[in-house]
Structure 1
Amino acid sequence: MKKITAMLAFLLAFSTSLFASDNDLWEKSTLNQIMERKVLRVGLDAGYMPFEMTNKQGKIVGFDVDIARQMAKAMGVKLEIVNTAWDGIIPALVTDKFDIIMSGMTLTAERNLQINFADPYIVIGQSIMVRNGLEDEVQSYKDLNDSKYTVVSKLGTTGDIAAKRYLSKAKLRLFETESEGAIEVVNGKADAFIYDLPFNAVYSSQNPGKLVHLDTPFTYEPLAWGVRKGDPDFLNWLNNFMRQIQGDGTYDKIYAKWFESSEWHKTLK
């Protein structure tokens, strides 16, 4: 009897300890802090069509922004957009400048060492825009892997990584923004721009006759939301939120607005 009583006492103490531990974890959760603050702070780098861009009124809009707005609505809180330079966006998340990265970020093993990711919300890949006159000569990334070509991309992105990995023989120049790199090809100062397919598809449609888009991606890149380490409650909520909006048609509606329509092109700067 004494052994049974002692065992019950141990189990009670153990379960109480677990409950206290779980409660402490929730108290520290970003989700709990958002609910108490009543503001969802989203970090992004405005300049990546059609995920996040600045319109003529100076407002940041795009696919990620509309998803973030739905997220804040589901939480019952206000949305605050924190526009952040790409090369500092992960350090800014880690140091609590905002709650989540929603900026078309590719989930990579290297980034996953620094932060955690929710389940991917879209899969894309790198594609190529080449200058006029090269369309017969260059038909895939393999054709560009030659020292006679100059390729450009955005610094610190998977376009940068892909160019170094697959086009090591070509001359590589990197720029702070997508637009700076792409305009080099339009102006004939570079032979090709390596970057995410959605951006290249939109940019080429906005500049007809000025370059050629090779629209078959040559990499596999799942995009996902980034959060700080050690926060299972927030990750659980984010994954279930994505399942909900994918199931009720909200995701498809937002996707159609930004990926299947070109009406928003004329609203940009």
Structure 2
Amino acid sequence: MKRKLLGLSLAMMMLLALVLTGCSSGGQTAEEDPLADGVISIGVDDTYLPMEFRNDQNELIGFDIDFANALAAELGVTTEFQTVSWDGIFNGLNAKQYDVIVSSTSITPDRQKAFSMSDPYVANGIVIVSRKDATPVVTFDQLEGKTLGAQIETTADIAAEKLKADQGVNVEIKKFDGMLDAFAALQGKQIDNVITDIGVAMYYVAQNPDLYIVSSDVLTNEPIGVTARLADTGLTDTLNTAIKTLQDNGTLTEISMKWFGKDMSTDIDTNLVVIE
């Protein structure tokens, strides 16, 4: 009996020693620190202008790309981007195909429950875009009898379905894999309107001011954050410190001015107003 207890005690001591030697000063093992290899792997949907997209040389560019590179520089690591379709981007994160998502991810109560989300780094809300040659849609109920384009499984898509059901509006919501396709359909008059993030809407209007207009008020307040896995709270704390530094030193303002022509990265309203 004593020998069995002694053997058990020795085994427990050896296991404890292995656990302790595998711990870093922060209480995480090297395997648990996504930045330990000097790289932050980032999941991104590269069809969401001007946030993340490909230019004519197939280079990955956009607000989020500039932000992610600045964030990595502040953290002392390099970026590794992995492109993935939006409808699979969260599953890829949970499957550990990449460390974080930097892809215009709105902060919502549901996502805060399922993931570890950083503090916001850019303001955001959804709006309706109309063609200038049609009657502008100011409120959702004015979509009665019309067709509305949305990118599948985005907060704009979710909000449109919720408003349609709640208000009893007879609107056909057409789903697109990316906003490029949605705006091409709007331009080609295959749909009547588009619902999307304000930054995206502003970009398309700026590119085609004679064609499009942001016709509604901002319907929600859902600022954008970096998304990590639910267990990676230590990583999120590190990201929050770096985001604040980029806000305080003007780096985020510079990136925002480059892509939006205005500063949407400071004095962000964190009071969520989400339709889900």
Give the TM-score taking structure 1 as reference length: 0.81
Q: Which residue of 1 aligns with 2:205?
A: 204
Map of 1:160-175 to 2, 5 A cutoff? Answer: 160-168=157-165, 169=169, 170-175=171-176
Q: Per the alignment, in what secondary structure is the counterpart of residue 34 of structure 1?
A: coil
Amino acid in structure 2 at the alignment position of 1:176: D
Who is 2:28 aligned against? 26
Q: Which residue of 2 aligns with 1:68?
A: 68
Q: Alpha carbons of 1:22 and 1:76: their partners in 2 closer, same or farther (altered >3 Å)?
A: closer
Deviation at 1:250, TM superposition (A): 1.2
Greater displacement, 73-82 / 118-127? 73-82
Q: Distance in 2 between matches of 1:127 and 1:103?
A: 18
Q: CA deviation at 1:171?
A: 1.3
Q: Aligned pair 1:102/2:102, yes or no?
A: yes
After TM superposition, the structure 1 = structure 2 runs for residues 33-182 of structure 1, keeping only pairs within 5 Å, are 33-35=34-36, 37-135=37-135, 138-144=137-143, 146=144, 148-168=145-165, 169=169, 170-182=171-183
RMSD over aligned Cα atoms: 2.3
Q: CA deviation at 1:25?
A: 4.4
Percent of aligned pairs sharing the same letter: 27
* 1:90-114 C-alpha deviation (Å, 9 max, x unpaired): 1111111111100010112222332
Structure 1: runs of 5+ lacking an equivalent: 1-15, 262-269
Distance 2:77 2:122 in 1: 25
How far apart are the structure 2 equivalents of 1:217 and 1:242? Answer: 25
Aligned length: 240
Q: Which runs of 4+ in 1 moved over 4 A?
A: 19-25
Q: Is the contact between residue 72 and residue 78 of structure 2 (CA under 8 Å) also seen in structure 1?
A: yes
Task: Tell which deviates more after alignment, 205-214 or 251-260.
Answer: 205-214
Report if aligned partners of 1:135, 1:212 keep a CA contact under 8 Å in 2: no
Which residue of structure 2 lines up, in the alignment, with residue 8 of structure 1?
A: none
1:193: which partner in 2?
Answer: 194
Q: Which residue matches 1:11? A: none
Deviation (angstroms), 1:213: 2.2
What's the CA shift string for 1:239-268, capped at 9, x where partnerless?
11111111111111111111118xxxxxxx
Asked if 1 retains the 8 angstrom alpha-carbon contact of 2:133 and 2:211, the reply is no
Q: Aligned AA for 2:141?
A: K
Instruction: Tell me the residue number matched to 1:240.
Output: 241
Structure 2, gaps ≥5 residues long: 1-15, 263-276
The normalised TM-score by structure 2 is: 0.80
